[in-house]
Amino acid sequence: MDKTRNLHHLLAELMRTHGFEPKVLEQKVFVLWPECLSRNKHLAPLATNTVPISLSNGILRIYTEYSAYKSSLLLNKPKILADINAELEKPVLTDLRVEIKTLSVKPQETEDQPSSPETPEEDSTIGNTHQVTPEQLERIEHALSSVSDTHLRESLRQLFTTQSADGP
């Protein structure tokens, strides 16, 4: 238990000193999106019928296929923003922008189906993923091998693979 606690503090310090903390919080928004919506029975259908696409300057862009879901998101915007910011313990989100588009990317249904780090691709729907070399993937996986929290590991993997070509 002490090793895990020490690793957690070491990782937190590493993220803070290297400036990754804001980026990790931003990535956590994408993990928290379906979780926060699913907790409220009126918002639960939105968890599987909306996809957070990007976060920039506190504004989270969301795609949905149906205008009714867009309306529901906009009506519940203050609650959604408050719930996610409360989970993050910091005011990361300031606004939601909802667009109606055909969803070519479906939200991840379970954590048993993580995106595979072995085959990163450029996806114009999502936007900021670049081609990662096998050497960079190896360094990323090595850096993440001691992170036991599944959500944190996936968020860090996404963060590292979307950063500059310098890698983690």
Kindly report, residue by residue over 42-78, the tens digit of the pLDDT: 899 999 999 999 999 999 999 999 999 999 999 999 9
Give CA separation, 89 vs 111, 141, 165, in Å.
23, 28, 30
* pLDDT band for position 122 (cuts 50, 70, 90): very low
Residues with Cβ within 8 Å of 30's Cβ and at least 6 positions away in sequence, in order, are 52, 55, 155, 158
What's residue 163's pLDDT? Answer: 61
**Of the ranges 3-7, 9-13, 22-26, 56-60, which is most confident?**
56-60
Give CA separation, 163 vs 24, 67, 91, 123, in Å.
12, 34, 23, 15
H/E run at residue 150: helix 150-162
pLDDT above 90 coverage of the chain, percent = 42
What's residue 119's pLDDT? Answer: 34
What's residue 110's pLDDT? Answer: 38
What's residue 79's pLDDT? Answer: 95
The pTM assigned to this predicted structure is 0.57
What's residue 145's pLDDT? Answer: 79
What's residue 8's pLDDT? Answer: 78
Q: Domain spans of the chain? A: 2-162
At CA 93, angle to CA 87 and CA 97, rounded to 5?
130
What's residue 72's pLDDT? Answer: 94
- Reading the block at residue 5, the tokens are 């606690």
- Distance, CA of 1 to CA of 83 (rounded, Å): 30
Which of the two residues, 128 and 18, has the higher pLDDT score?
18
- Distance, CA of 128 to CA of 93 (rounded, Å): 19
Q: Supply φ then ψ for residue 43, to 5 degrees.
A: -100, -10
At CA 10, angle to CA 32 and CA 144, rounded to 5?
60
Kindly report, residue by residue over 145-157, the tens digit of the pLDDT: 787 777 777 777 7
* pLDDT band for position 23 (cuts 50, 70, 90): confident
What's residue 83's pLDDT? Answer: 96
Give CA separation, 131 vs 7, 102, 107, in Å.
29, 25, 22
